[in-house]
């Protein structure tokens, strides 16, 4: 019995200091700016579509000796609200004046909707060493107020791998790196004439 308790304590010790929340925010100065600013108005849906089959608000998960541990979630607000705010920052960096709406049917013209196609980060910890890896891919859709798709573009995404020591899991570094790369790809996307044509009333 004592050996079992010691074994459980050994298993739980690394998990007790696990990182369980991360920031999903990007400052505009961290993003690339196109040379030609759009100077257009655009409407953005305030909630992202999430087509992942994993728990919707999850950005990562701990694994210890191949056993699943705590989930990692955004620390400010739900993921489907945080990602559109990042896209809003990217649109503003591109020269757009952005209005956010909660419902598609409230719009009077084309609406930009961001979709989370892939977002996952896993820390495999073999105490005290571990590896965290992850990836993110987003897509941008222009819809009419009744839901008809006018245009869509997907990012190439971003992924990475890094070492971990003790409880310093690096989830936030991974998520920030992937989000920044995806938003810079979205900036290139929304700077195209094809996109600008679709969002004009």
Q: Which helix (H) or strand (E) holds 170?
A: none
**Architecture, CATH, for domain 2-199:** 2-Layer Sandwich (3.30)
Packing angle between helix 171-190 and helix 79-93, nearest 10 degrees? 50
Check residue 143 and give its pLDDT.
97
pLDDT tens for residues 112-167? 999 999 999 998 877 777 888 999 999 999 999 999 999 999 999 999 988 876 55
Check residue 13 and give its pLDDT.
43
**DSSP class of residue 192?**
S
Judge whether residue 179 has pLDDT over 70: yes
* In the chain, % of residues over pLDDT 70: 89
Q: Which among 73, 79, 94 is positioned nearest to 46, based on CA atoms?
A: 79
Q: What is the mean pLDDT of the chain?
A: 87
Q: What are phi and psi of 198, to 5 degrees?
A: -75, -30
Q: Which stretch of 4-8, 36-40, 96-100, 151-155 has the lowest confidence by average pLDDT?
A: 4-8
pLDDT grade for 14, boundaries at 50, 70 and 90: very low
Check residue 12 and give its pLDDT.
45
Residues 20, 1: Cα–Cα separation, whole Å: 31
Domain ranges within the chain, ordered by starting residue = 2-199
The two three-digit tokens of residue 160, written as one number: 């990475």
More confident: 168 or 35: 35
pLDDT tens for residues 63-74? 887 788 889 999
Judge whether residue 1 has pLDDT over 70: no
């Amino acid at each position: 019995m004592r050996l079992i308790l010691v074994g459980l304590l050994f298993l739980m010790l690394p998990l007790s200091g696990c990182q369980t929340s991360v920031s999903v925010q990007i400052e505009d100065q961290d993003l690339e700016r196109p040379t030609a600013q759009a100077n257009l108005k655009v409407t953005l849906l305030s909630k992202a579509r999430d087509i992942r089959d994993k728990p919707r608000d999850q950005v990562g998960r701990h694994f210890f000796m191949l056993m699943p541990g705590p989930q990692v979630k955004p620390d400010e607000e739900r993921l489907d609200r945080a990602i559109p705010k990042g896209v809003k920052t990217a649109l503003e960096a591109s020269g757009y004046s952005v209005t956010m709406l909660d419902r598609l049917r409230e719009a009077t013209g084309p609406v930009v909707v961001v979709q989370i196609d892939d977002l996952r980060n896993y820390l495999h910890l073999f105490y005290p060493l571990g590896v965290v890896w992850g990836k993110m891919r987003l897509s941008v859709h222009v819809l009419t107020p009744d839901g008809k798709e006018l245009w869509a573009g997907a990012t190439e995404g971003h992924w990475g791998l890094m070492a971990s020591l003790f409880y310093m899991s690096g989830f936030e570094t991974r998520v920030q790196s992937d989000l920044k790369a995806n938003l810079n790809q979205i900036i290139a996307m929304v700077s195209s004439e094809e996109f600008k044509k679709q969002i004009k009333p």
